Every structure is written in C-alpha cells, then in structure tokens.
Chains A and B, each alone.
Chain A
C-alpha cells in the first residue's frame, strides 16, 4: 500500500494528468532483479502524432514499448495508453492498438490474403461509426504494396515483403495507436520510401498515433513529429529534429575556398563567422557551405555525454533550455 501511495505521489510531479493524450507515461521504472533498465521515463503523445524513440542498444526501448503494449508488467510509474493502464487493458482496448514487433516468422503456411482476412475478422465486433474495422483486405494489401503477392504463402515472402505483411497485420484493425519496432529493417530504398508514405497516410488521413523505434536517424527525422532519445533508462531529449539540433549547442561546420585553397572551420555561431569571413575576404570567398549539426551529430553528442557519466549536467541543461523554449513559444 505504501508503495502505491509513493508511486502516485511521484506520478503527480511532472504535471497534471492529461486525458487528451494518447500516450501518457510518467516516471516509468523497470527493474529486473537488481538491474534498473528504466529509471524514470516520462513522455506524452497527442492524437495523430508520430513519435520516434531512439537510443543505443540496451537503452530500454523494447522494454518501454512492451510495457505500453501491455505485454510486460512495469515496476513503477504511471502509464496511460488510450486512457487505460495497459496492465489492465481489456480486449476492447486491445482492438484499438496495433503492434508490429521486430521480427515474425509466424503463420508461414498461411497465404497473405487468407491471413489478413482471418486476423481482421477479430476486429469486426469493435467496429464503430467513426472507425470502421477491420480494414478492407484488398485495400490493405494494396496499401502495403503486396497485391502481386496476395496469394503467396507468408513463408515464401522475401524479408522486405514479410515485413510489409507484418505492418499490414499491425494495422488491419485500423488502430488508433500503432507501435512499430524497427519497421523498415531489411527494406530496400524503394520499399522504405513506400513505407514512409504509408506512415504519413496513417497519421495524416487516419489520425493514427504512431510510436516507432528505429536505428535510422534519417528515417526518424523524415517520419516523426517528435523524437525521444532514450539512454541509460531515461528520456534524455524530447523534441523535433530541428529543435534538438538547435538546442543542443553542437557546432556547425563552415567550408569555403579562398583563391583555390580549401578551408574548414567549426563554430557555434555560423552566422557571425560567415559575416566576418565576407568582411575580411569579400568576393574572394567561394564554394561556401554551412552545415548545421545533423540529427546524427546531435544524437551522438547527447548519447556520448550521457554514457560518459557527465550525463545529468548536459541533460538538465538541455531540459532547461527546452522548457524555456516551450515557454517562449507559448507566450504571445
């Protein structure tokens, strides 16, 4: 009982509960034996938002997602998924959620269309006037680009095709919230592009909220509205790719040539540096390039700092800045 009380108190700290959120995670903790895997994860997601969860291997991404999916019990913290605690999510709640895990080999003897029609039929009783369930099988197969393979057995599909089938199964019930664990692993560039279009369609047209994990930072930047970086068991950064690289004071790289000679300079204030450069050399400056820190640079910098132990300082600085930034934006 004491533990529960303590837990509730802790949950209150990050702010008042927000019932309009699709995902509301506060101070989520997970401990296996004596190892703390999650040491206080907090974030929220609004309807239709696409969140990318990034982080090094073993940071707790899969554990976090599994807790949200209701597949794993948490040690502590407050979690609401579609307004329901996943620990006691019923089948009706389950029908509103789509899950695409890292790799599946199941139903190898089933044909693509047969399997989607079958799995879709479980969602029919949960159809509403707003959300028609399940997805029409042929439209769904078309949407994931499997039409030429509709009558193939799942076991005969290539890696990328199989993955698209997994995605199709994940969305067959027209979920309001979709979890994608490394959805594009094994995709060729074209399949990746098509998948990105599908994700945009799901979030824009169907207002599906999506939480995805990926190791592909470029993909995270393209797909997501917001990026969460999970390292050492906590969210160390939360913002759009742009915000992240702007807030993290990583240096920009300036390249130019003067009289055929190449120069590279790293600076925190590229604008001033370029201004000075022109004042000094005028029209002699050629081939000017200013490269802002990429998401990858930001990510690497953040994760390195956290892992090297100088963690808290950098993160706190970041969080403070972010808080200011949000306050600025909120102000008229």
Chain B
C-alpha cells in the first residue's frame, strides 16, 4: 500500500475524529451555536424591512449572504486559527515527526474545517427556512448552485486559511487579519446591498471572495427576480466562478510554498520559545 495514500486516508479519519471531538466540548459547541443564534436573531428582526427597490424581505436576503460570509469564516478563518493554535501547542511538530504526518495533518484539517463549516451552515439554513419567508430551495438547480458555490468557496478559502495560518506565528495577533476582514464584510453586501455605496468601495468589495460567495448563495436561495437588484441585473455566475477561481489558484500556488516554509522551521525549540513568550505575556 502506498504510504502517501495511507496517510491521506488517515487524514480523512483524523478529520472525522476531530469533527466528532467538536461535539463534545462547550467551546466548540458555542462556536457552532453562537453565530447561528446571533445571525438568525438579526435576520428575524430585519424580516419586515425590504431590499431597496423591491418588496422583498431584507432579512431573507441576508440569510444566503450570511451563508456566503460563513464560508469565508469556516474556510479561511477557522483553518488559519487552527493552524496557529496547533503550531503553538506542538501538533504540527508531532505531524512532522510522523512519516507522511504533514500530509495526513493537512488532509485532516481540510476535512474537519469543511465538516465544521457544513454543520455551521446547516444550523443557520434550516431554522432560517422556517423563520424567514421568500427563500426558495425546492428546485434541483437551487441545490446544485448551493453545492457548487460551497465547493468552489472551500477551494478558494481553505488555501488562503493555510497561507494566513502559516504567516502568523502568534494566535493573539489574529486581530491583524480579523479587523480588515470585518471591514471587507461591510463592503461586500452581506447585510445590505452595495448598490448605494461609492463606486470605489463597490470595486474593493468585488475584488475579494466574500462578495462573490454572498452573491452565489443568494443566486441559489433567492427567487430569480431578485437578480434585478444585483449589479448588472444578473447573478453573474461566470464572474463568480472567475473571481473565486482566481483566488483558488492563487491560494493553491501559494499555500504549499508557505506551508513548506512553515513546516521546515518547526522544531522543538521553536515550539518551546513560542510557549515561553506566551507564558511571559500571561504573567
């Protein structure tokens, strides 16, 4: 049996085990429930407001947009955070000390991040379908769109997460990533359509995956008439695929380079030094 294949299979098993672990501790369970409850509450109170130029519920428009945003959090942010934490606690070094362990580790991380994302999305989508009116996910094409946006979204965001997670040594510096991301979400039409924003901000939003993931999810879950209030009065599937694809390619080229560089630098003393620093900060 090919050792790489064995390691990849072990990686999937590893991801599955870790996914099961997320259901056994309060911290991970909060991580699933808190965003879902928060977002659904916001949407519920937004349900009577309407999307400008239509009589469609703003709350119902926000749900798919928030699912798109969730892909960025589940794919990029979650993976980046896990990489940083597990570099500090020595999990990565352990993988390095195991034959083909890095491969297994990475496959495991992709598996667990994808699984956690799926759980988070379902926790928002299913109650949302009951709470909000106007969402249509009864057709095969709606499910197909939902699936491809999710898959392309993961391929675009997971490598970015790997890059970010490799570049930042210290989990406590993660604010450097989160602050701009929050700004980006504000200019990505997640909670409110971008149409009234200044043109340059619209362009900024459209350069990054968040906007396109929101748009893609809206195209899956909203009635087709709603496309008329988007840019170009269209769901722009081709453009969505183009921009997300470009980010995916950039990430897939960059991630192995950065991951390898990070892995090469891992050693017992680098883990110990990081811990020393963390302890000094704590006291």
Contacts and interface: CB of A to CB of B under 8 A. Distances in A.
Contacts of A114: 17
B7 A66 contact: no
B99 A169 contact: no
A110 B17 contact: yes
A109 B268 contact: no
A126 B2 CA distance: 10
Contact of B14 (A65, A109, A118, A181): A118
A71 B17 contact: no
Nearest to B88: A105
A105 B85 CA distance: 11
B6 A122 contact: yes
Contacts, number: 88
Given A71-B267, A123-B99, A126-B99, 15 more contacts: A69-B97, A71-B93, A101-B268, A103-B90, A105-B89, A105-B90, A106-B93, A107-B91, A107-B94, A110-B17, A118-B13, A119-B101, A122-B99, A123-B98, A169-B94
B10 A122 contact: yes
Q: Chain A contact residues (Cβ within 8 angstroms of B): what range?
A: 20 to 34
B26 interface: no
A225 B282 CA distance: 42
B6 A103 contact: no
Contacts of A94: 97-99
Interface of B: 1-3, 6-7, 10, 13-14, 17-18, 21, 24-25, 86, 89-91, 93-94, 96-101, 104, 266-269, 271-272, 275
A102 B99 CA distance: 20
B16 to A, nearest CB: 11
A182 to B, nearest CB: 11
Central interface residue in B17, B18, B268, B272, by most chain A CB within 10 Å: B268
Contacts of B97: 69, 94, 99
Q: Which of A62, A69, A91, A114 has the most CB of B within 10 A?
A: A91
A66 B269 contact: yes
A108 interface: yes
Interface string A54-84: 0000000011011001011000000000000
B99 A104 contact: no
Nearest to A99: B97
Interface in A105-160: 105-110, 114, 118-119, 121-126
A149 to B, nearest CB: 17
B27 to A, nearest CB: 10
Contacts of B94: 104, 106-107, 119, 169
B54 to A, nearest CB: 47
Given A104-B94, A118-B14, A91 B6 contact: no
Contact of A110 (B21, B268, B275): B21
A173 interface: yes
A168 to B, nearest CB: 13
Given A109-B18, A114-B17, A122-B7, A62 B268 contact: yes
A92 interface: yes
Most buried by B among A65, A69, A102, A125: A125
Contact of A173 (B96, B99, B269): B99
A228 interface: no
A106 B86 CA distance: 7
Given A94-B98, A125-B6, A109 B21 contact: yes
A244 interface: no
Interface string A83-94: 000000001101
30 contacts: A65-B268, A71-B93, A71-B266, A91-B3, A92-B99, A94-B97, A94-B99, A102-B272, A103-B90, A103-B272, A105-B89, A106-B91, A106-B93, A106-B94, A109-B24, A109-B25, A110-B21, A118-B13, A118-B14, A119-B98, A121-B6, A121-B10, A122-B6, A122-B10, A122-B99, A123-B98, A124-B6, A125-B1, A125-B3, A126-B3
A95 interface: yes
Nearest to B94: A106
B83 to A, nearest CB: 13
Nearest to B3: A125
B10 A106 contact: no
Contacts of B3: 91-92, 122, 125-126
Contacts of A102: 268, 272
A227 to B, nearest CB: 22
Contact of B104 (A110, A122, A169): A122
B109 to A, nearest CB: 13
